Structure 1
Amino acid sequence: MRHLVPVFLCLALAACGGDFSNDDLEFLNALPQRQDLAATVPGQDKEAGGSPRIAGKTALAVGRLGFPSGIIVDTDETGRRFNEVVDSMLASLETIRSAPPTEREPDRRVWGPYPDRRERRFEARFVMTREGERFDYQLQYRRGGEGEDAWWSFITGSFQANGGIRKGSGSLILELRRAREKGFILGLDLLEREEIHYQTRTLPTRVELVFVSMQPLLLPSKYIYRQGEGGVAEMTFELQGTDFVAGGLPEDVALTTRWSPDGRGSGSLRILKGDIQGAQYTECWDNRGRVTFISRSWDFLNPTEGVRSSCPDMTALDR
């Protein structure tokens, strides 16, 4: 994944003045925050009991009992990249929370317009509307001096409230291709959009990160993160061209990893393409990342190793 340069509204905070009304806060609560969307990461410097987790990279491959899990290392790295992209997309919204809106209507709020801090040729404004329990918002730009019809949306989002503060379902879309066509950003030529879709109303919560590209991507185009009761979590994504098993062909795999707050976890991998297409592999690890159980669907002589009961209880994610 590429880490996007954050986009900020240059709000002249000293000039804004005023306070937030209760109704303003209802609008702001419709905007996602990092704690709503960020993934917990299974690899920590220290697990709950204080024992250091095994460090260093391990290639994704068939595991060995008692050795570091390659699946957990890959999930650690993917979770951190997932959070980097989420952070970069949410950075565009953070300044909005710092100042009251400049325009108020019963079901509409506007911040701006203000000169953009990074691209002084452009003006920016943030517009939110409300219809019942649904909120829609847009971060818009136009070149300085242009008219009302010149506004275009770089970020669009929506939120359907249901069940309490910041509880519900929503989406956030970054229109990269449009921004390039308008001369606002350079680079990221292969990506048309980045999208986040989420629901926080019930457990397990769900966050889906999607990359829409004009050409096939080397990295996965979709990641799904879920978190259930008790802090258990799950990440699902696909990897292409891995050397998972010995043979003449690289493997494309679909990987689902689950982990608990104490560091234990399990990974289930299905081979989509390669030497043993259709095969499935499962492994579990302890709170130091060492493999404790292995299951291989293609191995008829020795399909399992280790103790299956060492795998943590993840049924909270199946509700």
Structure 2
Amino acid sequence: MKRLSTLLLTASITASVMATGCIQPTGDAVSDAIPTAQDVRVNLPDSAGEAPAALGEVSEYYAMTRGITRGFNAGAGFVLVLVHAIVQMPPTTVDGNTYTWGPGSDPLDPADYRLTVIDNLDGTYDWSLDGKSKFDPNAEFLTAVSGLAVAGDEAHRGSGEFTLNFTNMKALDPIEHNDDGDGTITVIYDLENRDGTAASLEMHIDGTDENGQAVVADYAYAENQDGSGDFQFSLPADVDENGSALEDIILRSRWMADGSGRGDARISGGDAGDEVVEASQCWSTSFRTVYETSTHPEILPEAGDVSECAFADQDLPELPGV
């Protein structure tokens, strides 16, 4: 969903709540159980800390990782920005342990929206953002986003999951989402980070793009308390950059707290043909390539000094089906 939609939904439901006879707030429990957009994000370092290394070019694997993290952060973050904006207000109605904000909308919005949160009375909360189209007087509510939040020891540092349904989003707002694909994105998170264990995020995409082509992808991310991280993902890319065919690359990027890192990949299809190529690339704290190698020299010839790598050993991705 685009930024404009996020702002409109937030404004619509918030305005609806303010316009109704609101009851007293439920306290901070709901807000604390749901992570913030700042927490559910991939924190890849992006500021330089040293002079460019010998090879001099910005690491392609770092650039791929940064590009994917921005898309991941936008997809997961907008939902949490919206939900947090809503739950700061008192609920419109309370029925036992079910709290509802809305429904409501602005006059020109194509749908009415509501947020429903169910307190399961065990430290967990089911929640859903639903919309009902104004185009059809007999329309029923469709779920745009739904999730389960498990409270942690610290506010916004629990665990849970949520699913974005882009098929329903398009049905609710066909103008805003005319160019979007269909399907779902599911995000699973565990932010407890207890006893030095890594916080983790996973994202699974299952749908079609705007051209009707299947899109299935998995992302997996772990973040340590010192800011170092481990991110795995897949994408099509012209790895050898000769302008011919796109290869399928499954990449595992690891980085230290200072930003230096290493990417290890499996590459297939395209110019790799039936061969599965293993490739590695290391970057410095200024994100410049210091070493690269592959099992297929035409894909990625060896260059640089492996002793400059932040991680000495190759560690290939472990995504499902890989």
TM-score by length of 2: 0.76
Q: 1:230 to 1:189 in 2, by over 3 A?
A: closer
Q: Give a deviation string over 1:63-106, Cα, whole Å, max 9, x none.
A: x8443311112222222222222233333313213311122345
Separation (CA, whole Å) in 2 of partners of 1:268 and 1:157? 33
Structure 1 counterpart SS, 2:118: strand
Structure 2 counterpart SS, 1:20: coil
Q: 1:306 to 1:17 in 2, by over 3 A?
A: same
CA-CA distance at 1:247 after TM superposition: 10
Structure 1 counterpart SS, 2:226: helix
Query: Letter of the aligned partner of 1:177 in structure 2?
Result: T
Structure 2 counterpart SS, 1:150: coil
Which residue pairs with 1:211 in the alignment? 205
Indicate whether 1:25 and 2:22 are aligned: no
Q: 1:201 to 1:242 in 2, by over 3 A?
A: same
After the TM superposition, which residues 128-277 of structure 1 pair with which residues of structure 2 at under 5 Å, given as runs?
A: 128-131=117-120, 132-143=122-133, 150-182=140-172, 186-202=177-193, 203-214=197-208, 215-217=212-214, 221-244=217-240, 250-276=246-272, 277=275
Structure 2 counterpart SS, 1:39: coil
Identify which range, 258-267 or 149-158, moves more after superposition. 149-158
Q: Give a deviation string over 1:118-175, Cα, whole Å, max 9, x none.
A: 7545322211112223210111223569999933322111123354433332122222
The one of 92, 97, 104 equivalent to 2:94 is 104
4+ residue stretches of structure 1 with deviation over 6 A? 1-4, 144-149, 245-248
CA-CA distance at 1:256 after TM superposition: 1.2
Stretches of structure 1 that go unaligned for 5 or more consecutive residues are 55-63
What is the aligned-residue identity percentage?
A: 21
CA-CA distance at 1:2 after TM superposition: 7.5
Separation (CA, whole Å) in 2 of partners of 1:160 and 1:94? 15
Which residue pairs with 1:311 in the alignment? 309
Structure 2 counterpart SS, 1:36: coil
Stretches of structure 2 that go unaligned for 5 or more consecutive residues are 318-322
Q: Give a deviation string over 1:182-232, Cα, whole Å, max 9, x none.
A: 5565414532223222121233222223332144357x7333222123101
TM-score by length of 1: 0.77
Query: Letter of the aligned partner of 1:40 in structure 2?
Result: N
Alignment RMSD, CA only?
3.7
CA-CA distance at 1:238 after TM superposition: 1.4
8 Å CA contact retained: 2:22, 2:92: no
CA-CA distance at 1:245 after TM superposition: 7.0
Q: Give a deviation string over 1:235-271, Cα, whole Å, max 9, x none.
A: 2211224242769754211111122232211111111
